[in-house]
């Protein structure tokens, strides 16, 4: 299956939350309500150094994805 890089998700148990799922390495879920990030990977200390540099870019991409998707609903 060919998954998109980002997916929008919601859950009735968290009615005010909107989640973005990043499906590529490093996989994560971000809760846009509070910007909390849950990483779905186990990282070594070496990985964490590289990840800190990439995390900001990936979270910005996730936010841009959300803005683009919402904009499509509004059109």
Q: Could you give the CA distance from residue 40 to residue 38 in angstroms, rounded to a whole number?
A: 6
Cα torsion angle, 54, 59, 64, 68, sign: positive
pLDDT tens per residue, range 6-33: 999 999 999 999 999 999 999 999 999 9
44 — pLDDT class (breaks 50, 70, 90): confident
Q: What pTM was estimated for this model as a whole?
A: 0.87
Strands lying side by side in the sheet with 6-9:
6-9, 19-22, 28-31, 36-39
24-28, 36-40, 45-49: the lowest-pLDDT one: 45-49
pLDDT tens per residue, range 58-71: 999 999 999 999 99
User: Residue 2: enclosing H or E segment and its boundaries?
Assistant: none
Residue 62 in tokens: 């996730």
Alpha helices in 1-75, H assignment, sequence order: 45-74
């Amino acid at each position: 299956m060919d998954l998109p890089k980002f997916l929008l998700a919601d859950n009735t148990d968290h009615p005010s939350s909107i989640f973005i799922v990043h499906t590529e390495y490093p996989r994560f879920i971000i809760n846009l309500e509070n910007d909390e990030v849950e990483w779905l990977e186990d990282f070594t200390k070496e990985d964490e150094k590289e990840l800190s540099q990439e995390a900001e870019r990936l979270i910005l991409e996730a936010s841009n994805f959300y803005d683009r998707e919402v904009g499509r609903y509004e059109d």
